[in-house]
Amino acid sequence: MDAALANLLSPPVLCFLLGLLAGVVRSDLEIPEAVARALALYLIFSIGFKGGVELAGTSDPRALLPPLLVAAGLSLLLPLPAFGLLRLLTRASRIDAAAIAAHYGSVSIVTYVAATSFLQARGIRFEGFMAALVAVMETPAILTGLLLARSGKSGAMDARRRRELLHEILANGSVVLLLGSFAIGLLTGAEGMRRLEPVVASGFQGVLCFFLLDMGLLVARRFTGFRTMGAGLLLFGLLMPIVGAATGLLAGRLVGLSLGGTALLATLSASASYIAVPAAMRLALPRADPSLSLSLALGVTFPFNLLLGIPLYLAAAGWLFG
């Protein structure tokens, strides 16, 4: 409870709430899009780079492998319960349900970033390679989503479309940047950190604040979207993160992550993508309604995780770790 309150009163979360408020009263406050996107790239670069540097400092980089596999597995499998829940709770079409499920198997980088900031403020450490897990969890869910969408139909994708999609998945900008900056951190280590520290470390909290301000504005705009959404979808947007987090907690514990790492893996599993997956879905399932999944991921699940989920998942991890 205490942690939940501290979370709500931290500058990043307060900035998010400020953006939300400004959006709800329809203020003309607006962060230029070009700048918001650059801030997102900064956040991605920073977590990748810092993760790489941290890993470079640890003795055994092979410890990375089992968590990586587990993370990829989570991303591949989580769309299944998501799809099931959607068919149960809502009247979303098969295609729409599959598209939404793919978003929930993948991850939200900003939610992850907010969670690391939350842990750091409480002095809880986590594995440096967690950033790599973010990268591997981004795209496998897209495949499952596609299989779910196709399962009804006989017709398969034509070859060109399949090539395009594979490319979209592998060469997705945020994945490339995250893995690339991770590699740069790994290669340059402490010396690299010495050179980039004032930008990637000192500036981090401030940039996160501005970015979350913008997220608040975006989420508020999504609110009008889900007025028409129906209670079933809303329920899904709140239930699915719990399902994801529980799965992530168990997986993290099993594969031997630390307390902080387990809480982060839970957060990742609980979060839904609104960068990589929407782009891939536009290509793979053009007939799925993009505003539906974005409204859910951005308008319901993101604020839930940011405001309540993160401290909850940490508390649960704490309980699991006895």
Partner 1 sequence: MQTHRRKRLEIVVEKKRAAAVLDLLDRDPEVTGWTMLPCLGGRGHTGTRLPEGATDALDTVVILVVTSEAVAQRVMAAVLELLAEHVGIVLLSDVEVARPAHF
Which stretches of the chain bind its own copies, using CB under 8 A? 9-11, 14-15, 18, 21-22, 25-35, 37-38, 41-42, 45, 121, 167-168, 170-174, 176-177, 180-181, 183-184, 187-188, 192, 195-196, 198-200, 202-203, 205-207, 209-210, 279
Q: Is 30 in the site for partner 1 (CB under 8 A)?
A: yes
- The CB density around residue 316, as the number of other CB atoms within 10 Å, is 18
- Quick note: the x/- pattern for partner 1 over 99-118, rule CB under 8 A, is -----------x--------
130's CB contacts (< 8 A; 6+ apart) are 51, 116, 261, 264, 265
Cα 261 to Cα 16, 23, 320, distances in angstroms:
24, 34, 13
160: Cα within 13 Å, side-chain hemisphere: 0
Q: How many CB atoms sit inside 10 A of residue 313's CB?
A: 30
Percent helix, strand and coil across the chain, each to the nearest 5: 80, 0, 20
In whole angstroms, what is the distance from residue 232 CA to residue 17 CA? Answer: 25
Q: In the range 39-98, which residues lie near partner 1 by CB under 8 A?
A: 40
- Pattern 234-273, binding to partner 1, x per CB under 8 A? ----------------------------------------
**């907010």: which residue's tokens?**
114
Answer with the entry of its own copies, partner 1, Na ion, none that 40 interacts with (C-beta below 5 to 8 A by kind): partner 1
Q: Does 298 bind partner 1 (CB under 8 A)?
A: yes
Tell me whether residue 165 or residue 249 sits nearer to partner 1 (CB atom). Answer: 165
- Would you call 286 helix, strand, or coil by DSSP? coil
Site for partner 1 (CB under 8 A): which residue of 278, 299, 309, 311? Answer: 278
Token digits for 231? 């209670």
As a whole number of angstroms, the distance between CA 38 and CA 29 comes to 18
Binding range to Na ion, per CB under 5 A, among 3-11, 148-156, 270-278, 294-302: 270-278
Q: Which does 209 bind (CB under 5 to 8 A by kind): its own copies, partner 1, Na ion, none?
A: its own copies
Spatial contact of 99 and 145, defined as CB atoms under 8 Å apart? yes
Q: How far is the CB of 73 from its own copies (least distance, A)?
A: 25
Q: Does 290 bind partner 1 (CB under 8 A)?
A: yes
- Residues that bind partner 1 in the complex, under the rule CB under 8 A: 28, 30-31, 33, 36-37, 40, 110, 168, 211, 214-215, 217-218, 221, 274-275, 278-279, 281-283, 286-287, 289-292, 294, 298
